[in-house]
Amino acid sequence: IGAKLDGSGAPGSGRHTPECRIEWSGGIRSGEDIEAALQAGADRVNLASQALVDIDQVRTLIAEFAGRLNICIDVEGDRIRPR
């Protein structure tokens, strides 16, 4: 978490504004889900095991939400773990 300081920046001065980025994880299965998460205030959305289901859909989602979509894959040893 970072902070933006304005003026004195002293705590309690009303000039210290915390800055944080929100990432949304879980329940993401479609472009509509991603859009809803972004509209709700997420800066980025994490797509996990669902990314393994339909690679063509994932390519489309990456193109549509470039820069705001993370693809998260669990790896255990030398294997991809779907869930």
Rounded distance, CA 27 to CA 48, Å? 9
Q: pLDDT value at position 70?
A: 93
Q: What is the pTM of this model?
A: 0.69
Q: pLDDT value at position 64?
A: 96
Rounded distance, CA 11 to CA 57, Å? 47
Angle at 41 between CA 36 and CA 42, to 5 degrees: 80
Q: pLDDT value at position 75?
A: 87
Residue with tokens 């299965």: 29
Nearest one of 27, 24, 30 to 68, comparing CA atoms:
24
Q: pLDDT value at position 14?
A: 52
Counting as low any pLDDT under 70, the low residues of the chain are: 1-18, 83
